[in-house]
């Protein structure tokens, strides 16, 4: 099935925002990639801010859907967190543009943060904090401490996902492939070091989208 103009615009915008950041990307550049006019893009989204918000909302909605699905099927909150983080690793490795956007949303957002009216990723972060604080070890953590752990884990995932081109050139493709094969277990070890062992994680490695 061919994509609609709106879907094509979102794909082009995702690429531009990932490669250039919010400030480097432009409405004209996104439209030009598809051979459309700037007015055609504005007809669908109204402004660059709304287009960027649509991209972030799509990412956040998929992540929240994964949380709802896994929490309904996995009882142990530690297993829930492990499954979600490993799934997030899978999806960011497969869709590095989204990983770059998430990274840039944190790193390149200083000026925009002062005026942002909606934080699309906050419900996702709040849900992860809630899971952490339901674990036996996490019950002793305050909200800020649990959030710090969530950010640490997500940061480790995003940093790894966006580092592929540099690490491949730096260490070679075979070394990168071997490192990739070990990374999920390293992530599990990081989670378990903070929150204890997980009795079972049937969704571990399942994509979050």
In the block, which residue shows the tokens 């996995």? 74
Sequence ranges of the domains in the chain: 57-195
Question: What does the pLDDT look like over 37-70, one tens digit per residue?
Answer: 999 899 999 999 899 999 999 999 999 999 999 9
First to last CA, the chain: 20
If you write DSSP's letter for every residue of the chain in order, what string do you get?
-PPPHHHHHHHHHHHHHHHHHHHH--HHHHHHHTT--HHHHHHHHSSHHHHHHHHHHHHHHHHHHHHHHHHHH---HHHHHHHHHHHHHHHHHH-HHHHHHHHHHHHS-HHHHTT----TTHHHHHHHHHHHTTSTTGGGS-HHHHHHHHHHHHHHHHHHHHTHHHHHHHH-HHHHHHHHHHHHHHHHHHHHHHH---S--TTTT----
Exposed/middle/buried for residue 122 (C-beta within 10 Å: 0-12, 13-18, 19+): exposed
At 137-154, the pLDDT tens digits run 999 999 999 999 999 999
Tokens standing for residue 135? 């674990």
What's the rounded mean pLDDT across residues 6-13? 92
Is the predicted pLDDT of residue 160 greater than 80, yes or no? Answer: yes
Task: Evaluate whether 12 touches 34 at the Cβ level (below 8 Å).
Answer: yes
pLDDT at position 203, please?
40
**Would you call 42 exposed, middle or buried from its count of C-beta atoms within 10 A (0-12, 13-18, 19+)?**
middle
**116 pLDDT tier (thresholds 50, 70, 90):** low
Q: Is the pLDDT score of 209 beyond 50?
A: no
Give the rounded percent of residues in the chain with a pLDDT score beyond 90: 60
Res. 202 pLDDT band, cuts 50 70 90: very low
Q: What are phi and psi of 102, to 5 degrees?
A: -60, -40
For residue 1, name the pLDDT band (cuts at 50, 70, 90). low
The pTM for the full model equals 0.81
The architecture that CATH gives domain 57-195 is Orthogonal Bundle (1.10)
pLDDT band at 113 (very low <50, low <70, confident <90, very high): low
Report pLDDT for 108: 67
């Amino acid at each position: 099935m061919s994509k609609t103009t709106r879907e094509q615009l979102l794909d082009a915008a995702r690429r531009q925002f990932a490669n250039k950041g919010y400030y480097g990307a432009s409405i004209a550049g996104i439209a030009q990639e598809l051979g459309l006019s700037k007015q055609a893009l504005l007809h669908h989204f109204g402004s660059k801010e709304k287009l960027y918000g649509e991209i972030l909302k799509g990412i956040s909605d998929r992540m929240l859907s994964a949380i709802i699905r896994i929490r309904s099927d996995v009882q142990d909150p530690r297993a829930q967190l492990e499954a979600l983080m490993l799934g997030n690793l899978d999806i960011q490795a497969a869709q590095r543009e989204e990983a770059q956007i998430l990274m840039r949303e944190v790193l390149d957002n200083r000026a925009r943060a002062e005026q942002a009216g909606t934080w699309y990723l906050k419900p996702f972060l709040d849900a992860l904090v809630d899971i952490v604080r339901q674990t036996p070890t996490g019950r002793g953590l305050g909200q800020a401490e649990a959030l710090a752990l969530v950010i640490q884990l997500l940061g480790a995932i995003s940093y790894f996902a966006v580092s592929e081109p540099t690490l491949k050139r730096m260490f070679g493709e075979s070394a990168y492939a071997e490192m990739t094969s070990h990374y999920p277990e390293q992530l599990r070890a990081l989670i378990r070091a903070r929150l204890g062992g997980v009795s079972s994680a049937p969704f571990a490695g399942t994509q979050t989208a």
